[in-house]
Amino acid sequence: MSGQNKLVVGNWKMHGRRQMAGALVRDIAEGIPSGVDAALCVPFPYLEMVSGLVNGTALAVGAQDVSDCDDGAFTGEVSVGMLAEFGCRYVIVGHSERRARHQESSERVAAKAAQALRGGLVPIVCVGEQLEEREQGRTLDVISAQLAPVLALGSEALQALVVAYEPVWAIGTGLSASVAQAAEVHGAMRAALREVAGSSADGIRLLYGGSVKPETAADLFDGENIDGGLIGGASLKADDFLAICQAAI
Ligand SMILES: O=C[C@H](O)COP(=O)(O)O
């Protein structure tokens, strides 16, 4: 990858209450070391508070989903314009929890990524295989199929987004992919991105997510084509998240 900072993004998922969220953001914002790009993707109701708290710090704010539609009659959805108003820089799209619970197809995920880009946000596009798919030797095929509609967005779009590889069997299980397993998938993703974006694909940040902890982060981040991490559980503890940020330098 080019010499840019690694990117470490916390995904709080549906955790927290207002008071806890405020304290956690303050602790993390105060401790972010230089030499890493860091962000927290928080639940929608906390975006305004968190944006205010990180203002003037090195910590960026993101959301966990966005509608693929412009403003309109879409009950329960949140538009990219709304996220931008609340200071979001990043938005996660296609997290496996949404693919599974909300039947989000890869085409819908790519449409969300495109919408995020139109609104000036950086989409973090998640892909990842189920355990059964890995055991059947289908990992790279699954990732390739999930990425295909995103690749179709074209070179310019690809250079403005982030991809996160999150093996579903490693999410919240304490069972991380090995560095070799992650690097194999990241290498395949880089090759696919190069086919569309040429050498510019080397600047597209590829994150690994799935039970990243302070103890495992440094080894993972040393892996080839691993440009940072998407952190779930460990982003709910300031010390752990900051240690992971430190490991990314
Ligand atoms: O978005 C984050 C991932 O789902 C990883 O979650 P985890 O670190 O709790 O395994």
SS3 127: strand
pLDDT band for position 2 (50/70/90)? low
How many separate domains does the chain show?
1
| Distance of CA 168 from the midpoint of ligand 1 (Å) | 9
Average predicted confidence (pLDDT) for the chain: 97
Residue 66 belongs to what domain range?
6-247
In a domain, 219, yes or no: yes
Nearest CA to ligand 1 atom 8: 232
Instruction: Supply the ipTM of this predicted assembly.
Output: 0.99
In a domain, 18, yes or no: yes
- The pTM for the full model equals 0.97
Q: What is the pLDDT of residues 184-200, one digit of tens each?
A: 999 999 999 999 999 99
CATH number for the domain including 20?
A: 3.20.20.70
Specify the pLDDT at position 3.
Answer: 81
In a domain, 138, yes or no: yes
Ligand 1 contacts (CB < 6 A) are: 11, 95, 166, 171-172, 209-212, 230-234
| Distance of CA 106 from the midpoint of ligand 1 (Å) | 19
SS3 12: coil
Q: Which residues, in sequence order, are CB contacts of 63 under 8 Å at separation 6+?
A: 41, 42, 44, 47, 78, 83, 88, 90, 91, 92
In a domain, 33, yes or no: yes
In a domain, 1, yes or no: no
Nearest CA to ligand 1 atom 3: 232
